[in-house]
Structure 1
Amino acid sequence: MLVPFLIMLREGLEAALIVGIVAGYLSRSGRGAWMPAVWTGIFLAAALALFVGAGLQLASAEFPQRTQELFEALVGFTAVAILTSMVLWMRKAARSLKSELQGSIDAALSGTRAQGLALVGLVFFAVAREGLESVFFLLAIFQQSPGAAGPLGALLGIFVSALLGYAIYVGGVRLDLARFFRWTGVFILFVAAGLLAGSLRHLHEAGVWNQLQAPIFDLSGILPEDGLVGSVLSGLFGYLADPTVGEAIAYLAYLAGALALFLRPAAPAPARPRPAPALR
């Protein structure tokens, strides 16, 4: 429950911040009448995410066992790729996100035709990206940790993120967003490493990957994955009670590379050229 909650809290807060920036800029620039177009874009993006998620879930239910394992592996690999790109993109784009969105709004509303459609499209694509990221992540998590706790945690994360987003928009709550996204980014990379190792296991069970299958250790009798502590460690860090050599290599190699990219110092902003002194 904790992992879906934290991920959806982050994803939901990203979407809420985007919507808040758009809504705030429209209000400050005297274009609040365009807010119905914003809500239309949000509704269409949410409907797309739900449709894709439901479609993939229903399709996978009809697969035979081997194909099911292969499907779960592909969903896991897709979730790892999306989570990694999302974390690294947010690290790079956070400083310029507000100005880029405001520039896109001005461009969307500067034309003489289809201004509403342009604004709907802007909000739709911005929110749909967050929604589709969440779909693949949740599918991968729910497949590895079935039960009602995961969906409940995800819904709670969305609810809390919506409340925080609204509180930030009206100015009643101040969050250190840079620190929030930094620490949740580290957490997401640990989750992605666990998904990668778990996806390799699904590939093996599908008969596709059979290399490096020697177990390193087996803690099933001491710390089983379905126990209380084991399930928490499995959700947070991708713990496996009996990891193989291949799974351990994938986990550690991914984590080392992803953390190095994410935690490296940000490049300094280019210095603005000083204006030339006026000639007398």
Structure 2
Amino acid sequence: MDFTSAFPSFIITLREGVEAALVVGIVLAYLKKAKQSHLNSWVYGGIAGGLVVSALVGVLFGWVIQSLGSSNQKYAPVFEPLLEGVFSVAAIVMLSWMLVWMTQQARLLKCQVEGAINATLTGGTAAGWGIFGLIFFAVLREGFETVLFVAANFQQGLAPALGALAGLMCAVAIGVLLFRLGVKINLRAFFLVMGVFLLLIVAGLVVSALGHLDTAVSTLAQLDRQSERFCFYYERFAKFPSCILGPMVWNTSKVLPERQFPGIVLHTLFGYEDKLYVVQAVGYILFLLTIGSIYLKSVTGWMPFAKRTSVESTANK
């Protein structure tokens, strides 16, 4: 088994697991401060519920993939890359939103969680269910994003799931170190490093998603002559075109193949392709320029290609 593909899901689960652990830790600490520790069981119930539902979502996705693949044998070769492409796009949207939103809300996380708990505790008998819901949806949100990423890479076998499990275990360990043993960890530096890794992983997922969609369309065109028109670039604008991705930018399959070390590491972590096409290259660059710029601005306040202030513009005239 190739465990290289486990690393991206490990990074994602570790980062999101630590986020969920922070929420859980804040809730437990607040309940202890408010002398409401008898509600701790609702916290643990919310954790268990969120994990179980996340696992069920993963099983459901697996069942949908198998069902679609076996429902029509003629078009079965189309469904697999098409589903990988669709799940990849969904994972890109969710992970990008999580990366930017969580970074922007990090400074207010403690106040927001404590405010939600305080409102819940004043609800009387429904306080337990309120605590349960707060933890349940925090864990489910992180779990769902991980499930989407694993589903987008289901062709790689069991390794991404094992990586996700290892990341979850490490996140739990970090939570214990923070809130049980009082170990000091620079969370800002942790989330900054994990955020950069995640940004590059998702950018690579953009390249992979476009590749899966191209494979699906080209396979469909081969099975059904009426679908050949979808291959816009086929034998039109380049000597080695793809179906929908345009001309080839490079072909490094003989120098640095993506299925052999070290190419497989670059492919798994950063979406390196030994055969890269124009649309993939443009998509990769646009993603880093847009989401990457928003993320950097959220973290450091610096915005690449930002407009100069009027003072700077006046000084340069």
Q: Under a length normalisation based on structure 1, what TM-score does the superposition of the two structures give?
A: 0.90
Moved more, 249-258 or 171-180: 171-180
> Following TM superposition, by how much is the alpha carbon of 1:211 offset from its aligned partner in structure 2, in angstroms?
3.1
> Following TM superposition, by how much is the alpha carbon of 1:14 offset from its aligned partner in structure 2, in angstroms?
1.0
For 1:174, give the aligned amino acid. K
Match status 1:164 vs 2:174: yes
Q: In the alignment, which residue of structure 2 is the partner of 1:273?
A: none
Match status 1:16 vs 2:26: no
Moved more, 113-122 or 21-30: 113-122
> Following TM superposition, by how much is the alpha carbon of 1:266 offset from its aligned partner in structure 2, in angstroms?
3.6
> Following TM superposition, by how much is the alpha carbon of 1:135 offset from its aligned partner in structure 2, in angstroms?
0.8
Match status 1:73 vs 2:106: no
> Following TM superposition, by how much is the alpha carbon of 1:39 offset from its aligned partner in structure 2, in angstroms?
1.0
Whole-Å separation in 1 of the counterparts to 2:245 and 2:141: 36
8 Å contact kept, 2:214–2:245: no
Deviation digits for residues 228-269 of structure 1, max 9, x if unmatched?
Answer: 2111101111101101111111011111211111112449xx
Match status 1:213 vs 2:246: yes
> Following TM superposition, by how much is the alpha carbon of 1:152 offset from its aligned partner in structure 2, in angstroms?
2.5
Match of 2:204 among 194, 199, 205: 194
Match of 1:128 among 124, 140, 154: 140
What are structure 2's unaligned runs of at least 5 residues? 1-5, 70-75, 218-229, 232-242, 303-317
Whole-Å separation in 2 of the counterparts to 1:43 and 1:29: 24
SS at match of 1:232: helix
For 1:105, give the aligned amino acid. I
> Following TM superposition, by how much is the alpha carbon of 1:199 offset from its aligned partner in structure 2, in angstroms?
0.8
Deviation digits for residues 166-218 of structure 1, max 9, x if unmatched?
Answer: 11012432111111111211111111111111111111111167433211111
For 1:11, give the aligned amino acid. E
For 1:108, give the aligned amino acid. T
Match of 1:38 among 11, 36, 43: 43
Whole-Å separation in 2 of the counterparts to 1:165 and 1:252: 35
For 2:142, give the aligned amino acid. E
Whole-Å separation in 1 of the counterparts to 2:141 and 2:29: 21
SS at match of 1:55: helix
Change (3 A) 1:172 1:116: closer
Whole-Å separation in 2 of the counterparts to 1:3 and 1:71: 19
Q: In the alignment, which residue of structure 2 is the partner of 1:245?
A: 278
> Following TM superposition, by how much is the alpha carbon of 1:141 offset from its aligned partner in structure 2, in angstroms?
3.4
Deviation digits for residues 44-67 of structure 1, max 9, x if unmatched?
Answer: 111110001111012102322212
Q: In the alignment, which residue of structure 1 is the partner of 2:289?
A: 256
Q: Which has the higher contact order (CA 8 A, sep 6+)?
A: 1
- Root-mean-square deviation (CA, aligned residues, Å) is 1.6
Whole-Å separation in 2 of the counterparts to 1:96 and 1:226: 43
Q: In the alignment, which residue of structure 2 is the partner of 1:83?
A: 95
Larger Rg: 2
> Following TM superposition, by how much is the alpha carbon of 1:68 offset from its aligned partner in structure 2, in angstroms?
2.0
8 Å contact kept, 2:45–2:132: yes
